[in-house]
Amino acid sequence: MEYAESREYVAGDDARHIDWKLSARTGFTHTKTFQSERERVSLIVADTALALYFGTRVRFKSVQAARAGAVAAWSALRDGDRVAALCAGGQGGLVPPAGGTRGVLRVLDALARWYRAPPPAGGSGLQAALEQAARLLHPGARALVLADPASALAVAPAIWSALSMHVDVRLLLLVDPLELEPPDCVLPLSTPHGRMQLDLASTSAREAWDAAFVAPIEALCGSLPGRRIQVQVLSSDDPSDAWLAAGVQRGGR
């Protein structure tokens, strides 16, 4: 129960709840009233970095992000939470917390819009979104951050710490199998400047590839758990609810 307000005392009120300070200030006896604690809020933070709109197995990473967010929304409903969503990047947008099936469907509609196509700006505002989440969420809330590893790594460590201080934070990194295990061959690529070939059999190219795609994941998995943030990796060819089952097995919740 949490404090709601104080009103004048009437016969039959519990004397243990008398508001002595207000009674002394007004000259009339007042008693405190209480109400059930507010429902917990589960917030889904959706990164819309351009790198997410890519995939070589089963689906784009952006589609996997939307599907994982949908799983999180239905899971929040099962737990009795109010669900909300916040978009990072050029598209912007906030879906206020709401309970029941209606609240879940509003979040699903937003995720479908945000991940339908790359944002006009083609960039990620993940840090600004996390700062906004830290201001909006009350202690005890939960936050699921759907992000590209490079976007998450670009967020200042202090921002992660500020969010996780009072909020249960889980970071879900969206990846593609090609990024984690590139073929040992010459890979033809098309760029805005024309076609090129990337020789992944060479040591230098392999090291640059790992620095771009693998190193950010390793850095986040090594640093964020110490800031009370659970980090998980979800590949585009994984079942979209694989992260939820894995989190239950590891955390026991």
The DSSP annotation for 125-145 comes to -HHHHHHHHHHHPPTT-EEEE
Q: Which two tokens stand for residue 83?
A: 């669900």
pLDDT at 215 over 80: yes
The reported pLDDT for the residue numbered 251 is 41
pLDDT tens digit sequence for 76-101: 999 999 999 999 975 558 999 998 99
Tell me whether strands 186-191 and 194-199 are parallel, antiparallel or unpaired: antiparallel
Q: At what angle do helices 61-78 and 100-114 cross, to 10 degrees?
A: 170
The reported pLDDT for the residue numbered 2 is 59
**Domains by residue range for the chain, with CATH:** 2-35 (no CATH), 41-251 (3.40.50.410)
Maximal C-alpha separation, the chain: 86
- Residue with the bigger pLDDT between 36 and 231: it is 231
Q: Hey, what amino acid is at 129? A: A
Judged by phi (left if over 0) then psi (alpha if -120 to 50, else beta), residue 215 lies in alpha
pLDDT tens digit sequence for 30-59: 999 875 556 789 999 999 999 999 999 999
- d(C-alpha 58, C-alpha 51), whole Å: 16
pLDDT at 253 over 70: no
> 65 near 165, Cβ under 8 Å?
no
The reported pLDDT for the residue numbered 190 is 85
For the entire predicted model, the pTM comes to 0.81
Tell me whether strands 30-35 and 41-47 are parallel, antiparallel or unpaired: unpaired
pLDDT band, very low/low/confident/very high, at 160 (cuts 50, 70, 90): very high
